[in-house]
Structure 1
Amino acid sequence: MPLNAGESGYGSVPGAGLSGGVGTSETAPLLIPEPEPEPVYEWHPMARAELEAAAGGPGWRRVRCYMVVLFWFTWVAMLAVSISIIVISPRPVGRSLTWWQRSLFYELQLDLEAQAEGSDGINAVCERLPYLKSLGVSALILEGVFQKKTSPSNLTVTAENMETLAQIQHLLMESYKADLKVMLDFCKVDPLVLKDVAGSLDKLSNQSAALQHALRFWLEQGVAGFLICDTDAAYSEETLLEWRSVLEEFSTREEERIVVVKQTGDALLPLNDSSHSNVTLVNVVIRSILPHSDHPLSTQEVADAIKTQLQTEEEEEDIWPSWTVGGQTSHELKRLLLVLMMTLPGSPAIQYNEEIDQTQTEPLERGSSQKERDEPSNAHRNKEKTRSSVLALFTTLSNSKAREEALLYGSLTFLPFNTSSNFSSSTNATVSFPSSPPILAFLRSWGCVHFLVLLNVGAKPQSLDPVWAQNLPETGVFVASSGMNHLGSTSLRALTLQPHEAMVIKLFKAGSYS
């Protein structure tokens, strides 16, 4: 048989695992090759030349441009958001105060009878003016210039006939040099009561003209304003409208001439048949912290009067107040009332105080050397120490009032104290003092600045209840105290007020330096 016979001859037998077919024995590999492994690339840092070549490429240049644009876009967006937050955020706006709203009034009684007898009373006042200015006094209220029975229609005539007219003019000139305003007290000067206006029109017209002439006379001398009582006949809508027209003739934008009304009762009497607001006709109302009384008020009566005034201030009002002590009280509470008067909203009206006006008592002390020799030296030193502390207290409060916005026109918030949880400094335990008034406290706030005023009217030490003080910043700095014996920072949770003590503390949160 031939070797190639048949289709399935020897030469056409396919090998194992191979596709059979004609001619496949010549082309198919006898062994299947293994797949070659993929090449492995090892990472290695780029050389400097390679890095420079890649960084200078167009791709990286685009990335850098995008990053710069994104940075500046983000920065501008953050700036715009910050400005928007500042603009839309509520913030206190400082008030533009007039001179009488920034002033500290000092009521000074002039003894014209002593002046007529040859005393140097007015000259002594002129010598004390720079000293009063250094204490922070801005305006003087001269009392006793006119007799109480003098009719306002004769004010000019009486003044021109007085032998002391030249001295008063000298006082006005020296006050101008010392940058002190001077106001004349007309309170209770006018005894006339106009009952029948229709039957005395001519007389009323003459009196009105004479009164306006008197006002112009003193305004020409440099007087900054006038003080009347709310019980005077001049306290009427018709009279005050006439006064306002005269005052506007002498007023400038920088120096306004004003009318001050002294409130004699618990509330300001309304103007007679008034259709206008009292605010448009009077500038300042002097109020008494304590009610007038024939006997010294007890500590409970003083505490009730102060609490009433503080609660009333929360609800008020458009009229600008000025504060004076008014009623009689014990000597121990004088410093506490001074602190209260200087921290209430408005302009304080300080009555003459020899412990503050120490220039007045120096000649008397030099003239009483024999008495000082008889007096024990330690008592004399204690007296001088007391006077120095009162003067330091007044100066500190005056300076704080002048520069702190919160004390100038900040809001007042009365803080009721929980009387059932007072703490005794000696036992450090909860004690109830039914006979001792609780601590009176209020806040003067402007923006994020808060001044806490604490008043212990009672005769026993009292501490702050931590529950009561938990809503306030815990730490603060002493601004002033009635004894001027506290300095530096303090914690409200460890604070104890001594009997008849007052404190002024500037509060701040931890980490804040406002």
Structure 2
Amino acid sequence: MPLNAAVTGYGSVAGPGLSTSMGGSESAPLLMPEPEAEPFQQWQPLTKEELEVVAGGPGWRKARCYLVLLFWLTWLTMLAIAITIIVMSPRPVETPLKWWQKSLFYQLQPDLLTEERADGSGGINALCKQLPYLRSVGVGALILEGLFDKKASPLNPNATGERFGTLPQIQHLLAESHKADLKVVLDVLMLDFSKYADTFPQHALRFWLEQGAAGFAICDTDAAYSETTLLEWKGVLKEFSSEEKERIVVVKQTKDVLPPLKSFSQDNVTLVDVVMRSILPSSQHLMSAKEVAVSIETHLQTREEDDVWPSWTVGGKASLHLKKLLLVLVMTLPGTPVVRYDEDIDQAQDKKKRPLASALFSTLSHSRAREEALLFGNFTFLPFNSSTDDSFSSTNSTLPSRPSPPILAFLRSWGCVHFLILLNVGPEPHALDPAWAPSLPKAGVFVANTGTARLGSTSLDTLELRPHEAIVIKLFEAGSYS
């Protein structure tokens, strides 16, 4: 058979769209070619003009609105959370205080200041001249003792006129005290009102209130200390009282327990405004450092909250070494301090001696006036963990016969402010035990002390108290000066 016969060619495949001729079979590709890859385009940031065109589109505008809204919602949520935390956090609430709760009382017998001196000075005018000075060192009120003799009429103090002065002179003193912004409380101890007619005591009270007296002081052993009498007094005082010039009744506590100070028959009316207590018990002899330490510790440990405002005075007799220490104690305890006349701060005394004593007095009084923690802050007694000295116990049968720590301490706190008061009653120097109060800040700054070399900041770890020394320290965390 000829090779070129008209038959289906060898190796040729007929298929759809393909020619059966040789030319068609030779030109048809056996594999499909792959498509050519598109040229690679490198990413480039938008130009300023392109960005402005795209940013103005609706998509970006909506995104920006959502972001701004999310920012302000987040900020407002954080602000609401912060306000909620502040509102819900416990914080001390400041209680408005009356004038007698903020004042420092200065208790004196006028004859100590008004007696004629060798140089011819003295008298009622000398006392009146000292009133601005007493106000400048922080005194806010005077308790005048000895104006009334037990046998004298309440309307005629010291009828003989030998101890203090005549009625016009006392009226002059009250007027000058008012000019010096000093309140005056008249001490009517031991004055028996019961021997007069029923209306006479009220008449006498009205007379002195009209003269400017801010109140009256009595003792818990007086005949006037009864519910019937005190209710009558409160009624008279209310007539002369106002928000700025409220008149008060002060009772000096001599018994261990006072009778009830509220009258439940008259809608629970408080019978007295201030209860004055003594740190030291009355004694005929000069109390030793051991007896003073036990008495102080007993009062610090057994101090109770009262329905009426407390007040503290030294009361008993102590050695001169402890005189300044007791002053620091009275001025830093909760309540109103009552300081008896001290010749060291008398303006008429030796000027070389007076500045040291008056500086401590003024520092304590002004610190108490401006520091909330000292004025109405919380009180915490801080017992020491160190071993006590067995020889440092009381020998007085009226006081607890038990050992007393060489150092007494308590804390006055208000909010984040803490004042530490340290009292070394003993005759030996003492350093603080590092493990004594681990929760207290270790750093602080001296506010007042009975010495003259305590200035600036200090650390409780290195502090050492000198014999018969009292120190007031304002504590703060390391690195802060709040």
Structure 2 residue 458 is matched with structure 1 residue 458: no
Name the CA distance, whole Å, in 2 between partners of 1:503 and 1:158.
42
Name the CA distance, whole Å, in 2 between partners of 1:470 and 1:4.
121
What do the CA deviations read for 1:388-424 (whole angstroms, capped 9, x no partner)? 2221111100110000000110010000112329xxx
Distance change in 2, residues 1:271/1:9 (3 Å): closer
1:404 paired residue number? 371
The residue identity in structure 1 corresponding to 2:226 is S
Q: Is the 8 A contact 2:368 2:375 kept in 1?
A: yes
SS in 1 for 2:375: helix
Q: How many Å apart are 1:186 and its aligned residue?
A: 0.5
Of 340, 355, 361, which residue of structure 1 is paired with 2:349? 361
1:372 paired residue number? none
Name the CA distance, whole Å, in 1 between partners of 2:355 and 2:444.
25
Name the CA distance, whole Å, in 2 between partners of 1:134 and 1:272.
36
2:397 paired residue number? none
Distance change in 2, residues 1:114/1:360 (3 Å): closer
Q: Is the 8 A contact 2:280 2:314 kept in 1?
A: yes
Name the CA distance, whole Å, in 1 between partners of 2:123 and 2:349.
13
Q: Is the 8 A contact 1:187 1:232 kept in 2?
A: yes
Q: Is the 8 A contact 1:106 1:141 kept in 2?
A: yes
TM-score (norm 1): 0.83
Q: Is the 8 A contact 2:276 2:310 kept in 1?
A: yes
Q: Is the 8 A contact 2:143 2:184 kept in 1?
A: yes
Q: Structure 2 matches for 1:32-431, cutoff 5 A?
A: 32-37=32-37, 39-111=39-111, 120-150=122-152, 154-157=153-156, 164-190=166-192, 207-270=197-260, 280-313=270-303, 315-357=304-346, 359-362=347-350, 384=352, 387-420=354-387
Distance change in 2, residues 1:89/1:240 (3 Å): same
Q: Is the 8 A contact 1:342 1:401 kept in 2?
A: yes
Distance change in 2, residues 1:46/1:26 (3 Å): same
RMSD across aligned positions (CA):
3.0
Q: Is the 8 A contact 1:455 1:501 kept in 2?
A: yes
Q: How many Å apart are 1:183 and its aligned residue?
A: 1.0
Distance change in 2, residues 1:120/1:355 (3 Å): closer
Q: Is the 8 A contact 1:234 1:240 kept in 2?
A: yes
Of 371, 388, 406, which residue of structure 2 is paired with 1:438? 406
Q: Is the 8 A contact 2:277 2:310 kept in 1?
A: yes
TM-score (norm 2): 0.88
1:476 paired residue number? 444
Q: How many Å apart are 1:188 and its aligned residue?
A: 1.4
Distance change in 2, residues 1:112/1:440 (3 Å): closer
The residue identity in structure 2 corresponding to 1:450 is H
Name the CA distance, whole Å, in 2 between partners of 1:326 and 1:498.
25
Q: How many Å apart are 1:112 and its aligned residue?
A: 9.9
Provide structure 1 residue ranges, at least 5 long, that are not aligned to the other structure.
193-202, 366-383, 422-431
Distance change in 2, residues 1:274/1:121 (3 Å): farther
The residue identity in structure 2 corresponding to 1:164 is T
Q: Is the 8 A contact 2:261 2:270 kept in 1?
A: no
Structure 2 residue 462 is matched with structure 1 residue 509: no
Q: Is the 8 A contact 2:217 2:250 kept in 1?
A: yes
Going by fraction, where is helix more abundant, 1 or 2? 1
Distance change in 2, residues 1:128/1:353 (3 Å): same
The residue identity in structure 1 corresponding to 2:424 is N
Distance change in 2, residues 1:329/1:277 (3 Å): farther
Aligned residue pairs, count: 462
2:401 paired residue number? none
Distance change in 2, residues 1:443/1:284 (3 Å): same
SS in 1 for 2:458: strand
The residue identity in structure 1 corresponding to 2:371 is E
Name the CA distance, whole Å, in 1 between partners of 2:382 and 2:149.
45
Distance change in 2, residues 1:190/1:451 (3 Å): same
Q: Is the 8 A contact 2:177 2:183 kept in 1?
A: yes
Name the CA distance, whole Å, in 2 between partners of 1:335 and 1:112.
21
The residue identity in structure 1 corresponding to 2:349 is T
Name the CA distance, whole Å, in 2 between partners of 1:326 and 1:176.
28
Name the CA distance, whole Å, in 1 between partners of 2:435 and 2:240.
56
Name the CA distance, whole Å, in 2 between partners of 1:264 and 1:405.
30
Q: Is the 8 A contact 1:300 1:437 kept in 2?
A: no
Distance change in 2, residues 1:149/1:27 (3 Å): farther
Name the CA distance, whole Å, in 2 between partners of 1:77 and 1:57.
31
Distance change in 2, residues 1:47/1:21 (3 Å): closer
Name the CA distance, whole Å, in 1 between partners of 2:262 and 2:67.
77
Q: How many Å apart are 1:84 and its aligned residue?
A: 1.1
Name the CA distance, whole Å, in 2 between partners of 1:439 and 1:99.
34
Q: Is the 8 A contact 1:149 1:191 kept in 2?
A: no
